[in-house]
Amino acid sequence: MNVSTAVSQAVGAAPALASLGGRSRRAMLHACADALAAAGDEIIATALAETGLTEARLRAELDRTTGQLRLLGDHAAKPWRRVSAGVAAGGGDVVTVPVPVGPVAVFAASNFPLAFGVSGGDTASALAAGCPVVVKAHPAQPRTGELLGRILARALPDGAFSLVVGGPEVSLELVRAPGIRAVGFTGSLTGGRALMDAAAARPDPIPVYAEMGSLNPVLVLPGAAVPATVSALATAVTGSAGQLCTKPGLVVTGSAAFADELAQAVAAVPVHRMLTAGMAQAHESWQARAAAAHRVVAGTGSPVPFAVVVGVDELAGELLEEHFGPSVVIAVGAAEQVPSRLEGSLTASVYAGDGDRDAARTLLPGLLARAGRIVWNGVPTGVAVCDAMQHGGPWPATSASWSTSVGTEAVERFRRPVALQGLPADLLP
């Protein structure tokens, strides 16, 4: 379907979708979850062939996808109304209600083809808000995107969901389409910025909720349990071939021995192929640049897992940038020197023992200023889909640090509050 037709259908469907009650939206999202679950084997086989991700990873991701559709559907059915009695002029009540913003453009991500793809959290949260969705499939997984699109289109009312395909020109056309009222995006900083610029240049600028680059620093304090911490971090760095938005990209430790042990552990992990040839080439290029300037501990295979070992004083430039793939920068030195050097990130993690509380207390303000989620004695991968989750962060992690793309609060990106002052009770929505 072309962009013009898809957006026109979404605009036509918007009033009816906005008028649906919460229980009807709940039923709609549960129907999507049921349809995806019923087609699970076909979805897994298709995604397995296109992505190179493991079957276990994809099955877990499908469970997360159906689970978040049901969670957001249940959330949509809950009452959402704030009332302040008798405060308006003449003693009337002020009642605040949510209003869907209208058709939403969603850009499927490549690294989570199900949970952040065509059927992912942006699509689910927009539908839960009462907004039609036009999704642009990711070109790296055309068959997976098409299959998910067919399943959702059958489960949803006419016009509530459409799928478009194409390159950057289609992306920009979709954002510029007058009927689109908001954008959800997960991808690169370059891609997100291009969409933001296009949205801002419209005669009527619209918000772009973009999740982009994230370093996800990990600070390892002296009291951390060494074997367990090394194992957890090596797994988090190399899992899914290092292609997670929450992959630890920087580990800081005061111990050279810990740095060596972690570097060897990362290099020893076998990894599967990367999502695209372009991503694999970028990973190889980063390894070559790093090896030319720093100490690199590398394994074997394709892609090659590797660690770049440096001193904290060297942290600058590419050492503080996100790199997709099974690699990590390990910096040896004082942790307190690091937070002020960091840009915004989705997460920041601290590994520590009971004797490290004072040091952690000193570090915490700097981390709070630069991350959307702080993790204590745990890896940042494996984002929980729940009411309290904040999957966002300051620029360049996201374009809107106050928003989240995971959890029930993700719905709020796609509806706006309207205060109704003094309206008779029988006119309230």
pLDDT digits 0-9 by tens, 368-415: 999 999 999 999 998 999 999 999 999 999 999 999 999 999 999 999
Quick one: pLDDT at residue 321? Answer: 95
| Given 32, 50, 131, 245, the catalytic residue | 245
Residues 406, 124: contact at Cβ < 8 Å? no
End-to-end CA distance of the chain: 34
pLDDT band per the 50, 70, 90 thresholds, residue 89: confident
Residues 132, 17: contact at Cβ < 8 Å? yes
Residues contacting residue 338 through CB under 8 Å, at least 6 positions apart: 217, 219, 250, 252, 312, 315, 331
Averaged pLDDT, 226-255: 96
pLDDT at 110 over 80: yes
Report the C-alpha gap between 386 and 68 in whole angstroms: 9
Quick one: pLDDT at residue 183? Answer: 98
Angle CA 326–332–334, to nearest 5: 130
Tens of pLDDT, residue by residue over 29-43, are: 999 999 999 999 999
Quick one: pLDDT at residue 418? Answer: 94
Residues 298, 287: contact at Cβ < 8 Å? yes
Averaged pLDDT, 260-281: 96
Report the C-alpha gap between 265 and 253 in whole angstroms: 15
| Given 32, 50, 131, 211, the catalytic residue | 211
386 is annotated as an active-site residue: no
140 or 429, which is more confident: 140
How far lies 58's CA from each of 114, 121, 385, in Å? 8, 16, 16
**CA nearest to 406, candidates 423, 387, 393:** 387
Q: Mean pLDDT, the chain, as a whole number?
A: 95
pLDDT at 90 over 90: no
Q: What is the DSSP letter of 398?
A: B
Residues contacting residue 270 through CB under 8 Å, at least 6 positions apart: 299, 301
CA–chain centroid gap for 368, Å, is 19
The bridge status of strand 133-136 relative to strand 161-164 is parallel
pTM: 0.93
Quick one: pLDDT at residue 81? Answer: 76
Quick one: pLDDT at residue 82? Answer: 81
Percent of the chain's residues with pLDDT above 90: 94
Residues 129, 17: contact at Cβ < 8 Å? no
pLDDT at 84 over 90: no
Quick one: pLDDT at residue 80? Answer: 81
Output b/e per residue, 223-240; b: 16+ Cβ within 10 A. ebebeebbebbbebbbbb
Report the C-alpha gap between 371 and 332 in whole angstroms: 21
Quick one: pLDDT at residue 129? Answer: 97
pLDDT at 232 over 80: yes
- Beginning with the edge strand found earlier in the chain, give each strand of the sheet holding 94-100 in spatial order: 82-84, 94-100, 415-421
Residues 329, 251: contact at Cβ < 8 Å? yes
Residues 322, 249: contact at Cβ < 8 Å? yes
pLDDT at 294 over 80: yes
pLDDT at 46 over 80: yes
245 is annotated as an active-site residue: yes
List domains and CATH numbers for the chain.
3-212+398-427 (3.40.605.10), 217-376 (3.40.309.10)
Tens of pLDDT, residue by residue over 297-341, are: 999 999 999 999 999 999 999 999 999 999 999 999 999 999 999
> Which of the residue ranges 85-94, 163-172, 216-225 would you say has the lowest mean pLDDT?
85-94
Report the C-alpha gap between 109 and 137 in whole angstroms: 8
Quick one: pLDDT at residue 88? Answer: 77
In one-letter notation, the amino acid at residue 39 is: A
